[in-house]
Chain A
Amino acid sequence: MSETALFIKGVDKFYGPIDHGVHAVKQLNMDVKKGEIIALLGSSGCGKTSTLRMIAGFEAVSRGTIAMKGREVQTFAPVKRNVAMAFEGYSLYPPLTVRENIAFALKASKLSQSIVDEKVANIAKLLEIEDIMGRYPSSISGGQQQRASLGRALIRNADLHLLDEPMGQLEPQLRALLRGRIKHFIKERGLTAILVTHDQTEANALADRIAVMEGGVLQQFDTPQMIKERPANLFTGTFVGEPPMNVFSAGISGTGDTVSFGLNEGVKLDYKASDFSHEVRAELMKRSKVVLGIRPYAVRRSEGGVGAKVAVNQWLGDQTHIATDFAGGTMVLVEHDRTNLAIGENVGIRLDPSSLHVFDGESGRAISHGQELA
Chain B
Amino acid sequence: METTSTLEKTLRLIALTLVVIFFMFPIFWIFLMSFQTNETILAIPPSVIFTPTLSNYAALITGKLTTAAGTLDIAFMRNLGNSIFLSVTSVALALVLGVPAAYAFARHKFKGSEDIAFTLLSFRFAPPLLVLLPLTQYFQWLGLSDTYFGLIWVYQLICLPLILWIVRGYFEDISADVEYAYRIAGHSWFATFRKIALPLAGPGIAAAGLLAFIFAWNNFVFALVLASADKQPVTVGALAFVTSSGIQYGQIASAIVLSVTPTLALALYAQRYLVEGLSLGAVKG
A282 close to B (CB within 8 Å): no
A94–B281 CB distance below 8 A = yes
B284–A79 CB distance below 8 A = no
B285–A91 CB distance below 8 A = no
Given contacts A95-B284, A136-B285, contact A152 B181 (CB under 8 A): yes
The CA of A48 and the CA of B185, in the complex, are separated in Å by 22
Contact residues, A86-142 vs B (CB, 8 A): 87-89, 91-95, 97, 104-105, 107-108, 136-139
Contact residues, B53-107 vs A (CB, 8 A): none
| Chain B 197-237 interface mask (CB, 8 Å, partner A; 1/0) | 00110000000000000000000000000000000000000
Count contacts on B: residues with CB < 8 A to the other chain. 21
Contacts of A58 in B (CB 8 A): 180
Given contacts A89-B175, A91-B178, contact A138 B185 (CB under 8 A): no
Which one of B43-51, B148-156, B186-194 is at the A interface?
B186-194
B184–A84 CB distance below 8 A = yes
Given contacts A87-B177, A92-B178, A94-B200, contact A56 B184 (CB under 8 A): yes
A156 close to B (CB within 8 Å): yes
B186–A83 CB distance below 8 A = no
**CB-nearest residue of chain A to B177:** A91
Contacts of A108 in B (CB 8 A): 185-187
**CB-nearest residue of chain A to B187:** A79
Given contacts A136-B284, A139-B285, contact A91 B185 (CB under 8 A): no
A278, chain B: closest CB distance, angstroms: 54
**B185 is contacted by which of A92, A107, A137 (Cβ under 8 Å)?**
A107
**CB-nearest residue of chain B to A81:** B184
A205, chain B: closest CB distance, angstroms: 26
B213, chain A: closest CB distance, angstroms: 26
Contact residues, A46-89 vs B (CB, 8 A): 56-58, 77-79, 81, 83-85, 87-89
B1 close to A (CB within 8 Å): no
A78–B180 CB distance below 8 A = yes
B285–A138 CB distance below 8 A = yes
The CA of A359 and the CA of B283, in the complex, are separated in Å by 56
A56, chain B: closest CB distance, angstroms: 6
A83–B184 CB distance below 8 A = yes
The CA of A94 and the CA of B179, in the complex, are separated in Å by 12
The CA of A156 and the CA of B186, in the complex, are separated in Å by 11
Contacts of B181 in A (CB 8 A): 85, 87, 91-93, 149, 152
Contacts of B187 in A (CB 8 A): 79, 108
Contacts of B182 in A (CB 8 A): 93
B178–A93 CB distance below 8 A = yes
B130 close to A (CB within 8 Å): no
B142 close to A (CB within 8 Å): no
The CA of A138 and the CA of B279, in the complex, are separated in Å by 12
A123, chain B: closest CB distance, angstroms: 15
**CB-nearest residue of chain B to A96:** B285
A196, chain B: closest CB distance, angstroms: 14
Contacts of A81 in B (CB 8 A): 184
**A79 is contacted by which of B177, B184, B199, B200 (Cβ under 8 Å)?**
B184
| Chain A 137-173 interface mask (CB, 8 Å, partner B; 1/0) | 1110000000001001000100000000000000000
B239 close to A (CB within 8 Å): no
B183–A79 CB distance below 8 A = yes
B180–A56 CB distance below 8 A = yes
Contacts of B196 in A (CB 8 A): 93
B282 close to A (CB within 8 Å): yes
**A105 is contacted by which of B185, B188, B200, B283 (Cβ under 8 Å)?**
B185
**CB-nearest residue of chain A to B178:** A91
A216, chain B: closest CB distance, angstroms: 21
A156–B284 CB distance below 8 A = no
| Chain A 316-328 interface mask (CB, 8 Å, partner B; 1/0) | 0000000000000
B155, chain A: closest CB distance, angstroms: 33
Contacts of B175 in A (CB 8 A): 89, 91
B188, chain A: closest CB distance, angstroms: 6
Contacts of B281 in A (CB 8 A): 94, 138
B273, chain A: closest CB distance, angstroms: 15
The CA of A107 and the CA of B182, in the complex, are separated in Å by 11
The CA of A78 and the CA of B175, in the complex, are separated in Å by 17
Interface-centre pick from A77, A79, A95 (highest chain B CB count, 10 A): A79
Interface-centre pick from A81, A87, A97, A136 (highest chain B CB count, 10 A): A87
Given contacts A91-B181, A152-B181, contact A79 B186 (CB under 8 A): yes
Report 24 cross-chain contacts, Cβ distance below 8 Å, ordered by A residue. Answer: A56-B180, A56-B184, A77-B188, A78-B180, A79-B187, A83-B184, A85-B181, A87-B177, A87-B181, A89-B177, A91-B175, A92-B178, A93-B182, A94-B200, A95-B285, A105-B185, A107-B185, A108-B185, A136-B285, A138-B282, A138-B283, A138-B284, A139-B285, A149-B181
Task: Rank and list the top 4 A-B pairs by shortest CB-CB distance, nearest first.
Answer: A108-B186, A91-B177, A136-B285, A87-B177
Interface residues in chain B, defined as those with a beta carbon under 8 Å from any beta carbon in chain A: 175, 177-178, 180-189, 196, 199-200, 281-285
